[in-house]
A = this chain, B = another copy of it.
Amino acid sequence: MTNDKKNFKEIQNHLKETGFVFQGSEIYGGLANTWDYGPLGISLTKNLKGVWWKEFISKEKNNYGLDSKILMNPEVWVASGHVGNFSDPLIENKVNGKRYRADHIIEETDSSINAEAMSKEEMAKYIKENIKEYDGVKTDWTDIREFHLMFETHQGVLVDSKSKVYLRPETAQGIFVNFKNVQRSMRAKLPMGIGQVGKSFRNEVTPGNFTFRTREFEQMELEVFVKPGEDDAMYKYYIDKTNKFTNLIGLKKESMRLREHDKDELAHYSKGTTDIEFMFPFGWGELLGVANRTDFDLKAHMKHSKQNLEYRDPITNEVFVPYVIEPSMGLDRLALAILVDAYEKEEERIVLKINKELAPYKVAVLPLNKKYHSASAKKVFDKLIDMGIDATYDEAGSIGKRYKRQDAIGTPICLTVIDETEKEDKATIRHRDSMKQEDILVSEVKNYL
């Protein structure tokens, strides 16, 4: 079944019941579209981060990890342009007192318009002339006001001189301001990349669609610094690499499409941006993007900080400000895409066909008969855990019921412990996707995975 045919509400309920995602602060009625990862959700996201790290940091010889802080000197956000420009255009209907994203309601009304290319005044004019009714009521529109998307807070002890700081809206700037520190301490030559995984915060006007758009979210960003002129090739390399990454984590080809941004929708700093979009039950949504950010960020920080962020080529002695290629993805929406893609409702069961590498548990250990086999099953379970295999143990209910329970949380194989297990090391393996069974030696399970 394609994802647009899947019932999103049903999937959400399933993910809650099975311990993937809970509503944040649920016992207090929640908090505006926040979601917590339960035991299975954190396993999935941990595994996903692990694969990302392996592919984008460990395996790329000249890429390095970083972990910069959420709270940064506010001048960082002045230089990056966020203080000045990171806002959404809001318009209010005086009739019902509700505020809306001006660009969104224009594009809803006429999908052929690219509202991002319009000025505030143009948008207000269009809306006033064309949208006479909205949200079920007549309209009387105000002008457009910019709504800032950065969360503000204050730190320090003196109330009168407490300094305003922001929660970072992206992890990327933490990388740019550390470019020289990393390059120098690693004695790295260009091209080099710096990547990090971490929380970002945006005070979105309309968070929603479950974990797709939330105000607190986690990013996996890589910034690759290259010599100007070598940027186009690197841009292509990372479009290809992110494509392969989506395959590696098991996303279906038919659930995705590549979208290159048109010239007029490119961010002002970008020479080119390509998104991978994913078909969610609510429609196509941006999954990840690769952007050629040129030398915009480093130059902005050089100018504002008065620090030299140029690079000197050790062989040619050429001095230049590097260009930056940025593959950037949201952990939460990637995890959601994986779960949506994996979710299948069959006649007899709900199954999550999650890629083996990412599945919360790799193996479920099940004593065939609780009375006779639980002692040796527990030994098998302990052995797997000691080998570093994510395993779970279940002895409650009929074996068929337990298979179903594991299918529902995406465990690739069940290992049923039988009479022969204790003495002959033999057990029955049962596969999630094919539901087929075969005999196996317990000592072989690790290689088998």
Measured CB to CB, the residues of A under 8 A from B are 16-19, 22, 24-32, 34-39, 41-43, 45-46, 53-54, 58-59, 61, 64-73, 75-76, 90, 99, 147, 151-158, 163, 165, 167, 174, 177-178, 180-182, 185-187, 194, 196, 199, 201, 203, 205, 215-216, 301, 305, 307, 309, 381, 385, 388, 390, 393, 396
Contact = CB atoms under 8 A, between A and B. Distances in A.
Given A19-B181, A28-B76, 10 more contacts: A22-B178, A27-B180, A34-B72, A36-B66, A37-B67, A38-B182, A58-B390, A71-B216, A153-B153, A187-B396
Contact of A35 (B35, B69, B153, B216): B69
Name, among A39, A90, A182, A201, the residue most crowded by chain B CB atoms within 10 Å (CB to CB): A39
B69 A36 contact: yes
A215 B28 contact: no
- How many copies the complex holds: the figure is 2
A36 B167 contact: no
A58 to B, nearest CB: 6
A42 B196 contact: yes
A151 B155 contact: yes
Nearest to A157: B205
Given A151-B153, A215-B155, A42 B25 contact: no
Nearest to A40: B185
B153 A167 contact: yes
Nearest to A18: B185
A196 to B, nearest CB: 7
A304 B27 CA distance: 10
A75 B187 contact: no
A447 to B, nearest CB: 14
Contacts of A43: 65
A34 B185 contact: no
Best-surrounded residue of A19, A35, A151, A156 (most CB of chain B within 10 A): A19
Nearest to A309: B27
